[in-house]
Structure 1
């Protein structure tokens, strides 16, 4: 990080609402040595406990204590995001930035009445609470204002992330093709394997190697269900998958092998 960057962020205060949760903690751990961080929560006791666990010089407070922060990050479940954002935008100071970390953007971004005095940037971290910023992809969606965008992009890039800026509508379409579809296929496989009643004694090595990856994914099962439910393009992808499986199941072996090899080539796997 260059000196101007360090100086700029050292002077800032960033409040993370939901900083006691998995994604919020990643943010706190990554930023605590770069800027001034405060964990905000409805449960002050829990906020203080998490702040103490993560490290020194981390403030804690209630939601209302974010009023003097330069950046307010909202990392809460989608069902609560409109309520929380609507509360904090009323008290945020002039020139500050609101960032949400929701996995689905449709249905709430346009419902928020952001005052002209602040900017709003919606973000999506394409990794779970078990990871960190290094080598991961982040999507930024400018909603209101442009002054903060280059600064936030630079921040995430310096933390080691690949940052992409797209529109709200682009986000949910693209995410339905990777998150909704991918999660749905995994869940279908889990259901199929369970219904098959295969005994663990007969698990192959490759299947046993896959189990930890499935478990790691399903740690975030509530988020996966949230995406399936709230992304307006999820149903289209589920229908696409069901129709594709039906089509593939009727191929002869030669056609099936040809399709698989061509698909692997296209995916560069």
Structure 2
């Protein structure tokens, strides 16, 4: 028997992580009641029960689902999750656990606190793309209201091999301002600088070093897809503006050190950074080695070539 012998309701069940959680819970024997604007689970491994009417108001079918479900997942954007939370928490069974998958936690945590839920509530953030295998992948876990169903869901994440990091909403947003907002902003600024350099991109691509190609590949991931998601990471994280300001300040320090007659300040900056990186020396050295071994499969590749033309040995 599944750890959860009652169904889960999944809002946004046909989205990226909606599909992932649908399939993983189905594999655990959990029955899924799906709510989505598009009732076609093309990526789902098994049929799920769709509500015929996804409207939240005066929906007897949804009320029956609430009374039966012991898990409710909001696999929806932050604004949608916050909008529907009052309705969900009003009707959720006291023994159920409600979960959101938002990337920024401050606003959602305040909303939940104001609503004072009578059920369990956890706000999780898978720090990886929507992929089926959670093994060794980090999931931030913010527990806002505990109950037995919340504990059961935590045990499921553990059984899937996820590295669960428990933290507060504030600690999460401070950390992700550095791990997400900062690198994304730095990459976009790097891309703008390349764009404004006056050097043709064909020349830049042909003459690019392994580090340059790595940065261009990362830039493609940030600028080339999910622009609204990346905007939200900059716009809604309350610590993102300060970290962008610090990025600008740090660039000025590097620029100033590069203008000095002697390299002392420049070497000091590099030394302080290396001391930080030594905390994970083995892992970071392996990443650095992979970048050095990044070579184009086709030396005559053009700027329009796919990133698949790059091979990490």
TM class by smaller structure: 0.7 to 0.9
Aligned equivalent of 2:171: 170
1:200 matched to 2:202: yes
Alpha-carbon distance in 1 for matches of 2:16, 2:274:
34
Q: What residue number does 2:254 align with?
A: 248
Output the aligned Cα RMSD: 2.2
1:260 offset after TM fit, Å? 2.5
Offset of residue 120 of structure 1: 1.1
> 1:213 and 2:218 equivalent?
yes
- Using the size of structure 1 for normalisation, the TM-score is 0.86
Q: Would you say 1:54 and 2:44 are equivalent positions?
A: yes
1:152 aligns with 2:147: no
d(CA) in 1 for partners of 2:32, 2:145? 23
Work out whether residues 39 and 60 of structure 1, in 8 Å CA contact, stay in contact via their aligned partners in 2: yes
Query: What is the Cα deviation at residue 186 of structure 1?
Result: 1.3
Give the drift of 1:185: 0.9
1:31 to 4, 7, 25: 25
In the other structure, the counterpart of 1:3 is none
CA contact (8 A) 1:24 1:75 kept: yes
> Does the alignment pair 1:224 with 2:230?
yes
1:13 to 2:3 alignment? no
Q: Which runs of 5+ in 2 are unaligned?
A: 57-61, 285-313
* Greater mean deviation of Cα atoms: 134-143 or 146-155: 146-155
Q: Displacement of 1:249 after TM fit?
A: 0.9
Query: 1:210-241, CA deviations, whole angstroms, 9 ceiling, x for partnerless residues?
Result: 43433234423211110211111111101111
Aligned equivalents of 1:197 and 1:103: distance in 2? 36
In the TM superposition, what are the counterparts of 1:106-121 in structure 2 within 5 Å?
106-112=106-112, 113-116=115-118, 118-121=119-122
| 1:93 to partner: Cα distance | 2.0
Q: CA distance change for structure 1 residues 86 and 73 in 2, over 3 Å: closer, same or farther?
A: same
Q: How do residues 72-91 of structure 1 correspond to structure 2 at under 5 angstroms? A: 72-91=72-91
Match of 1:233 in 2: 239
Cα offsets for 1:148-205 (capped at 9, x unmatched) = 3432222112112100111122111122121121211111112111122432243125
Q: Give the distance between the partners of 1:205 and 1:25, measured in 2 at CA.
A: 38
Deviation per residue, 1:16-43 (Å, 9 max, x gap) = 11122222122223222112223212x2
- Are the aligned partners of 1:26 and 1:132 in contact in 2 as well (CA < 8 Å)? no
Q: Which runs of 5+ in 1 are unaligned?
A: 1-5
Change (3 A) 1:159 1:149: same
1:58 deviates by 2.1
Q: CA 1:31–1:214 in 2, change beyond 3 Å: closer, same or farther? A: farther
- How many matched pairs? 257
Q: CA deviation at 1:63?
A: 5.9
Task: Return closer, same or farther for 1:231/1:136 CA change in 2, 3 Å cut-off.
Answer: same
Query: 2: distance between equivalents of 1:169 and 1:24?
Result: 25
TM-superposed deviation, 1:70: 1.0
Within the alignment, does 1:125 sit opposite 2:91 as a pair?
no
CA contact (8 A) 1:180 1:227 kept: yes
Q: C-alpha offsets along residues 65-111 of structure 1, whole Å, 9 cap, x if unaligned?
A: 34232100002111222111122222222311110111111123222
Q: Does 1:71 align with 2:81?
A: no
- TM-aligned CA deviation for residue 126 of structure 1: 0.9
Higher Rg of the two aligned structures: 2
SS in 1 for 2:73: strand
Separation in structure 2 between the aligned mates of residue 223 and residue 110 of structure 1, nearest angstrom: 21
